[in-house]
Structure 1
């Protein structure tokens, strides 16, 4: 049932509004407040689908209510109620974020039409927000083991913040999935998600890759080029295998985090950037610090939140779910019917030593689907999934 709050200091106007809304539909739940302060108190305690608010009121006027509402419940539409002398102010409130305004005395059809449209828009906003928060199926995190449940809970808490996150764990465990969940469930989800595999870029090129370069900065720099930090502006940059980054690049990353600025290689011009940094590594960075391979000050900047992804051998109960998920994905990719696995085949796969973790399991499942029978059997596993 849509909940509507009327904030109006004139009791007669409040009664008219309540009467119109009540007679129009018995599905509206209408609450009243006699001034702006009382209205904000109700908004803090409850979630309303629409607010109707007078402009001129004692204690707290309608413009102040609008500004407070946009901070407290930005998704809630507000319709301003304007007297004859408030028309210019009413128009101005729309620039400040009001959905619409209606004049006193309220016209029946105009009021009801505005209310219906505002409520429809609220539904769309809520649905769009839900869809934005929903993680893409390409980056689903499959599992119900304790370790995976803890990671999912941590993501729900951390993603909406700006906190930097360091993800650790062996190769093939799905650290990049955690990074994508953090981005897609964040307020930056509309912005870009830029991935950089620091281990795959030669040491002499990592600075150019991250920060860009100007023409002539080095032999092959035949034109200006933006770096990954600039590309990620307004979004998230994911530095995978950050432990493989050179000390020189680490110093520049530290500066970027401290000052929100980068300099292209060969330039002394600062470029402002607004990025959230998420990193991952399979190395023990504290050991790397002891050996002089990683800056301690950078580590403390990156590791505000630590998320450790467990190896597959520590979450064997998830293997049946993963097999089912990979079987469906592989069938879709190959354009074939999904192939099942016998209970004995699954049990045998649960007993394997998965040194390559999720990545290795996915490869084995694909091999078994291609080479195995109409249902993958225990014998198929013994023949085609030998370690």
Structure 2
């Protein structure tokens, strides 16, 4: 539910605008104010996602409403309504913090597009405020959920590279088998960068059907294909000034690869079905479990895109290459579980001897199984009994 306040002194125009908005989306709750004074009172009484205000009004005009409302809450999203001859005022309003302006009589498409974009902006502002609050609380520490456990040589090298490149805009390609923690590396790169007050937008390229990947990445306009019932922002636009993480990029279609390459080269994206170009400023981090050189040789991956992405390459080792980290990883997974058991030394040694084809993800599952089925403490006997290899 989005709350919209319509401040307009002409009853007929209020009726028309309210009808248009509610017909477009019944989940938009539209309140009315007949002048600027009433509008300001409502702004202080209720939280609005969008305010649409006329400029020429009695008691308090739109410019006064804008100034006082922005002083009350700088994060308000305000769209001004202008009459003929008010364009200079509208431009001045934007300089003072208004999101946009629409002219009387309002063009239906312009009105609805402006409203949708304004509400999307409000949503992003709310998201960014939460991120800022979280970052302040963490004091630049990575969230525990994405903690990188271990001190082995392989994982120490990964941490060292992250520290060197995180606070740059260099593109990073993360390589490694499934379950090794490539997502953790991406989160550390973002959290330790100056972009961490903006979103980290994740895209699992393998989980999205090939025919929808372009829409997911670059957005689409209403009616551009069957099922496109409204305009949609793409992940690149949502990640603007932040970071986009393209996981399993080796599974992306060649068509989508071409568009990603253009976005990297020009800093622009075009929604599906639109000729409009949108400027985007994003840091791109990609990951894959595939050998991209083989994919290039077999014509499934663009070599020019590979070179664009692989400015910095981080190879995440599999668990078989960092067995010394197993005790620390087990302790970490135990601490996350509600079952109060421990592992003795014989269990750690037994786990080190196993072949971990599923890497960290498999170890997490095994620890949970042993906590449920094993004795307290969990011993080598439990590992031999409940872990089949």
User: TM over 0.5: same fold?
Assistant: yes
Partner-residue secondary structure (3-state), 1:253: helix
Q: How does 1:138-287 map to 2 (within 5 A)?
A: 138-287=145-294
What is the distance in 1 between the residues matched to 2:144 and 2:138? 12
Q: Which has the larger radius of gyration?
A: 1
Cα displacement (A) at 1:129: 7.5
Structure 2: which 5+ runs fail to align? 1-134
What is the distance in 1 between the residues matched to 2:189 and 2:299? 30
Indicate conservation of the 8 Å contact 1:143/1:321, yes or no: yes
Confirm or deny that 1:341 pairs with 2:348.
no
What is the distance in 1 between the residues matched to 2:168 and 2:312? 11
| Root mean square deviation, CA, Å | 1.6
What is the distance in 2 between the residues matched to 1:237 and 1:132? 22
Partner-residue secondary structure (3-state), 2:246: strand
Confirm or deny that 1:300 pairs with 2:307.
yes
What is the distance in 1 between the residues matched to 2:376 and 2:291? 44
Equivalence for 2:296:
289
Structure 1: which 5+ runs fail to align? 1-127
Equivalence for 2:140:
133
What is the distance in 2 between the residues matched to 1:380 and 1:194? 41
What is the distance in 1 between the residues matched to 2:170 and 2:274? 30
Deviations 1:299-348 (A, max 9, x none): 000000000001100100000110011110123xxxx43x1101111100
Indicate conservation of the 8 Å contact 2:171/2:284, yes or no: yes
Cα displacement (A) at 1:182: 0.1
Cα displacement (A) at 1:234: 1.4
Cα displacement (A) at 1:288: 0.7
Indicate conservation of the 8 Å contact 1:212/1:225, yes or no: yes
Partner-residue secondary structure (3-state), 1:300: helix
Equivalence for 1:327:
334
What is the distance in 2 between the residues matched to 1:259 and 1:132? 34
What is the distance in 2 between the residues matched to 1:180 and 1:254? 23
Equivalence for 2:37:
none
Cα displacement (A) at 1:133: 2.5
Cα displacement (A) at 1:371: 1.0
Cα displacement (A) at 1:175: 0.4
What is the distance in 2 between the residues matched to 1:195 and 1:293? 22
Equivalence for 2:101:
none
- TM score, norm. by length of structure 2: 0.64
Aligned pair count reads 257
Equivalence for 1:120:
none
Indicate conservation of the 8 Å contact 2:172/2:312, yes or no: yes
Cα displacement (A) at 1:272: 0.8
Cα displacement (A) at 1:374: 2.0
370-379 vs 191-200, which moves further: 370-379
What is the distance in 1 between the residues matched to 2:177 and 2:376? 34
Indicate conservation of the 8 Å contact 2:343/2:376, yes or no: no
Indicate conservation of the 8 Å contact 1:192/1:236, yes or no: yes
What is the distance in 2 between the residues matched to 1:131 and 1:350? 33
Indicate conservation of the 8 Å contact 1:132/1:185, yes or no: no
Deviations 1:123-172 (A, max 9, x none): xxxxx779443111110010111011111010000000000000000000
- TM score, norm. by length of structure 1: 0.65
Equivalence for 1:362:
364
Q: Choose the corresponding residue for 1:314, options 302, 307, 321.
A: 321
Deviations 1:217-241 (A, max 9, x none): 1111111001111111111000000
Indicate conservation of the 8 Å contact 2:375/2:382, yes or no: yes
Structure 1 residues 169, 157: closer, same or farther in 2, change over 3 A?
Answer: same
What is the distance in 2 between the residues matched to 1:237 and 1:279? 8
